[in-house]
Amino acid sequence: LIGVIDGKEERKKYTPEKFDSRKILGKISVVQTPYLETIIGAREIGERIGRAIQSFEVKELIVAPYGYVNAFELAEFIKGIKKGRASRLEIQKKSYAREVREVPVLVQDLYQTVRDKRRKYNLLIVTDPTGNQIVDVKDELIRRMKLAREIVIFVGSRQGIPKGVFRLADYVIDLTPYITFATEQAIPAAVVALVTICEESREESE
């Protein structure tokens, strides 16, 4: 194949000096409590979450309800995730010159998930407005992230993550003080924040 482009154009999309965010993204498991209010709402939010987790190609998404939930709303939420993931995956296959990994989607009770993920060398992070600002724990967090085998991010929806989970987490982080995210914005915000501080750390060490 022959491409004809302006000779003055600089192709800087991927260059050796850029931080490869996949090194962090591949270790991130997202634990999302389901958004359940109406059938339509559950499906729409599910689609947005599905696109988000596939865009970042995280290790996995765990849909983690707690207590009793409406089975049909949960089913629509999961259907939405599947649809959103599939739509983003097709775009990635057309856009990337590399192989794209489809993000696994699992379902497990929230408290069981916490118990299973609370292992040595795993890092558990809860996103919540009551937590510390990320800048206040940045240095220690970066060190722990580099050593972690798996970075588990707990993301709430509507009612948030139960306070009992906070005691078992390594960090409770407020990503944007005085601002509350919409449910579908929480995953991109958390993932970008963690990747950004890792990139800043690399630049400071050079």
Q: Which residue has the higher pLDDT, 206 or 119?
A: 119
31: which strand partners?
Answer: 62, 154
Q: What is the pLDDT of residue 151?
A: 97
Condensed to tens digits (0 to 9), the pLDDT of residues 3-46 reads 676 655 555 566 667 788 888 999 999 999 999 989 999 999 99
Condensed to tens digits (0 to 9), the pLDDT of residues 44-82 reads 999 999 999 999 999 999 999 999 999 999 999 999 999
Task: Name the token pair of 53.
Answer: 């987790």
Condensed to tens digits (0 to 9), the pLDDT of residues 141-178 reads 999 999 999 999 999 988 789 999 999 999 999 988 88
To the nearest 10°, report the CA torsion of 93, 145, 187, 115.
110
Q: What is the pLDDT of residue 49?
A: 97
Q: What is the pLDDT of residue 198?
A: 86
197: which strand partners?
Answer: none
Condensed to tens digits (0 to 9), the pLDDT of residues 103-144 reads 999 999 999 999 999 998 999 999 998 999 999 999 999 999
Task: Name the token pair of 192.
Answer: 């970008």
Q: What is the pLDDT of residue 92?
A: 95
Give the Cα separation of 56 and 142 in Å (integer). Answer: 19
Q: What is the pLDDT of residue 203?
A: 55
Question: Which residues, other chains included, contact 174 with Cβ-Cβ below 8 Å and sequence gap of 6+?
Answer: 127, 128, 129, 130, 131, 132, 133, 134
Q: What is the DSSP string of 107-173?
A: E--HHHHHHHH--TTEEEEEEEEEEEEGGGSHHHHHHHHHH-SEEEEEE--SS-S-HHHHTT-SEEE
Residue 154 near residue 126, CB atoms below 8 Å: yes
- Is a pLDDT exceeding 70 seen at residue 86? yes
Give the Cα separation of 33 and 46 in Å (integer). Answer: 11
Q: Which residue has the higher pLDDT, 13 or 184?
A: 184
Q: What percent of the chain has pLDDT over 90?
A: 73
Phi, psi of 169 (to 5 degrees): -85, 155
